[in-house]
């Protein structure tokens, strides 16, 4: 491909609304173009990367026995009503009506459809194990698109679905898929972490995410400094410090004028925050919920949502709190009845706590559970934080930011039971199909590769997914017939040798060409100039290195192939 014919123009300035490195560089390199919020066109260079990632994915899916198919983007809404996810996904689920006023869904994912296919095509245990996958366009009405391709409303995703007779068979396929994912990310040149994750609206049992460590990531990864424990913030657990347990003392009322926050109360009374209990108020599917947690901890709303099994969870407003007769800033469960309550298990990690007295400017000291108050449910609903201890080895927890580039789930029978996807086992008994689900966002993986592979000048593509292997840069083409002849010959010879070449044949200054070469990030730059030819050859430079080397023209193709094999 000649740069003079390439569709897409490089920019000299970074767009002001680009908030991640990958977003900035993809726009600056003329690789994507925003059509609407969270909706992008892939221009030829980016689409070549996209297709290479797809091919790597296909190879690894085929290697574990996957069969590729294509499911429709447009789906009947009743499939989503049957699974119950029309409510679980809420406003993220786009809907429309066709000319017959039938409600339809531009698919955000394909569990409902693939289970419908399984219902018609799996009758016996002999039909399994079965692995089906696709790469298909999805639509999610994200409330806040960000980061270019990192969080969008329209995107391509690879879905793999496994169908098995029981959980043991699912475990086998789950392990195969995990290894295939590791192969994919390694082949794409990514450093990644495998972390425990929450299943979210997809549901199911076990779940893992593949995270690329990046400062621009919107997910926080909690990991152990000693062992292999890692989980996203939503799922992470920890060993929390337990203050010295004391003999329960009589509960007493304490005057705390103007102290409404945990920080205020602790400072006023001269105690640490872990000697207090905090009250937090939520609305879960319209119901008021009183949450209690130790004062030095924060509520993990994903854990809370899972405990409540609700579709919608939000903080209660001041008016909603007042309507329940609760005094915000001085509230506790002491003396309260008839209110749904959830408590973190940290209420048992300490004693003689300071809690709200349920009237302004007063708190209670020496409150203890269960002596002084009741709770409907006690469980872990706390955010794990850096500095706390690992539940596996006791090591110190740390955190990094990351971008999710893949998510795998053990769905079990969540969808098959609702859809009626059953099979006959060896004994002739009817049982639900056991399912697994495995997703990769292709565009997000592309963006993540840039987040990890760039410098101050531009992108540094890993060889397997680079748009082209070589940036052939020819200088003074308008003044040197010798340069034209050598460059054209190299362009032709490299192509014949299977090397993908982007040939900068423009009549531009060396500075413009060098800047574009660095910005676009092809693994090797090949420079043909009057100076290099007078010195007996051409200059070869790896994108990630500063220095170039002079190579005889006759050896250039062999040299470049050798470099590519070793990059």
Condensed to tens digits (0 to 9), the pLDDT of residues 346-396 reads 999 999 999 999 999 999 999 999 999 999 999 999 999 999 999 999 999
Is there a cis peptide before residue 129, judged by omega within 30 degrees of 0? yes
pLDDT digits (tens, 9 = 90+) for 207-228: 889 999 888 888 899 999 899 8
Predicted confidence (pLDDT) per residue in 416-445, tens digit? 999 999 999 999 999 999 999 999 999 999
Tokens of residue 151, six digits: 């969080």
Query: If DSSP codes are grouped into helix, strand and coil, which group holds residue 454?
Result: strand
Q: How far apart are the first and last CA of the chain?
A: 22
pLDDT at 314 > cutoff 50: yes
Is 468-566 in the same CATH topology as 252-379?
Answer: no
Average pLDDT score over residue span 7-21: 87
Burial class (CB in 10 A: 0-12, 13-18, 19+), 185: buried
The CATH classification number of 45-69+109-236+399-451 equals 3.30.930.10
> If one looks up domain 468-566 in CATH, what number appears?
3.40.50.800
Q: What's residue 202's pLDDT?
A: 46
Domain 252-379 has CATH 3.90.960.10: yes
- Give residue for tokens 């596996």: 392
Model confidence pLDDT, tens digit, residues 103-131: 999 999 999 999 999 999 999 999 999 99
Pairing of strands 230-232, 362-367: unpaired
Distance of CA 455 to the CA centre of its chain: 23
In the DSSP assignment, the letter for residue 299 is B
Distances (CA, A) of 431 to 126, 165, 169, 423: 13, 8, 14, 5
Average pLDDT, the chain: 93
In the chain, where the domains are located? 45-69+109-236+399-451, 252-379, 468-566
DSSP letter for each residue of 249-287: ---EEEE-TT--SHHHHHHHHT--GGGBEEEEEEEETTE
Hey, what's the torsion of the CAs at 204, 385, 277, 257, to 10 degrees? Answer: -140
Q: What tens digit of pLDDT does each residue of 155-165 get?
A: 999 999 999 99
Tens digit of each residue's pLDDT (9 = 90 or more) over 38-97: 999 999 999 999 999 999 999 999 999 999 999 999 999 999 999 988 887 888 888 999
pLDDT, residue 241, reads: 85
pLDDT for position 145: 84
């Amino acid at each position: 491909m000649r740069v003079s014919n390439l569709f897409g123009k490089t920019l000299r300035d970074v767009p002001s609304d680009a908030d991640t490195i990958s977003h900035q560089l993809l726009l600056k390199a003329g690789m994507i173009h925003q059509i609407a919020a969270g909706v992008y066109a892939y221009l030829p260079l980016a689409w070549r990367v996209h297709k290479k990632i797809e091919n790597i994915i296909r190879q690894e899916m085929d290697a574990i026995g996957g069969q590729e198919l294509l499911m429709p983007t447009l789906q009947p809404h009743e499939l989503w009503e049957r699974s119950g996810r029309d409510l679980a996904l809420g406003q993220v689920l786009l809907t429309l009506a066709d000319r017959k006023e039938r409600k339809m869904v531009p698919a955000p994912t394909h569990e409902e459809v693939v289970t419908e296919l399984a219902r018609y095509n799996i009758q016996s245990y002999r039909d399994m194990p079965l692995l089906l996958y696709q790469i298909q366009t999805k639509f999610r009405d994200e409330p806040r698109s960000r980061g270019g391709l990192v969080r969008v409303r329209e995107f391509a995703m690879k879905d793999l679905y496994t169908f098995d007779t029981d959980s043991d068979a699912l475990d086998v396929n789950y392990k195969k898929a995990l290894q295939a994912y590791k192969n994919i990310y390694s082949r794409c040149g990514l450093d990644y972490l495998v972390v425990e994750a929450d299943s979210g609206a997809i549901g199911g049992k076990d779940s893992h995410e593949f995270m690329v460590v990046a400062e621009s990531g919107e997910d926080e990864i909690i990991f152990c400094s000693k062992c292999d424990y890692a989980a996203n913030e939503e799922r992470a657990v920890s060993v929390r410090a337990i203050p010295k347990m004391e003999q329960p003392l009589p509960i007493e009322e304490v005057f705390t004028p103007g102290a409404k926050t945990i920080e205020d109360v602790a400072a006023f009374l001269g105690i640490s925050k872990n000697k207090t209990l905090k009250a937090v108020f939520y609305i879960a599917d319209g119901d008021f919920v009183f949450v209690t947690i130790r004062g030095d901890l924060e509520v993990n709303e994903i854990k809370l949502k899972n405990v409540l099994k609700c579709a919608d969870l939000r903080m209660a407003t001041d008016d909603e709190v007042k309507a329940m007769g609760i005094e915000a800033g001085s509230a506790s469960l002491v003396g309260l009845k008839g209110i749904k309550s959830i408590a973190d298990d940290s209420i048992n990690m300490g004693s003689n706590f300071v809690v709200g007295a349920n009237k302004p400017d007063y708190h209670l000291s020496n409150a203890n559970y269960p002596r002084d108050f009741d709770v409907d449910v006690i469980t872990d609903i706390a955010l794990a934080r850096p500095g706390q201890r690992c539940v596996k080895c006791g090591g110190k927890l740390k955190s990094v930011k990351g971008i999710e580039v893949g998510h795998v789930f053990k769905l079990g029978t969540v969808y098959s039971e609702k859809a009626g996807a059953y099979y006959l086992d060896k004994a002739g008994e009817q049982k639900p199909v056991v399912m697994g689900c495995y997703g990769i966002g292709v565009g997000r993986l592309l963006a993540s590769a840039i987040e990890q592979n760039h410098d101050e000048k531009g992108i540094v593509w890993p060889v397997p997914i680079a748009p082209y292997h070589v940036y052939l840069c020819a200088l003074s083409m308008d003044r040197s017939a010798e340069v034209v002849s050598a460059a054209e010959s190299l362009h032709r010879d490299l192509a014949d040798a299977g090397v993908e070449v982007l040939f900068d044949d423009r009549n531009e200054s060396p500075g413009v060409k060098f800047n574009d070469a660095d910005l676009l990030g092809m693994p090797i730059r090949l420079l043909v100039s009057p100076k290099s030819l007078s010195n007996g050859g051409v200059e070869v430079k790896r994108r990630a290195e500063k220095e170039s080397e002079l190579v005889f023209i006759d050896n250039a193709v062999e040299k470049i192939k050798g470099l590519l094999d070793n990059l």
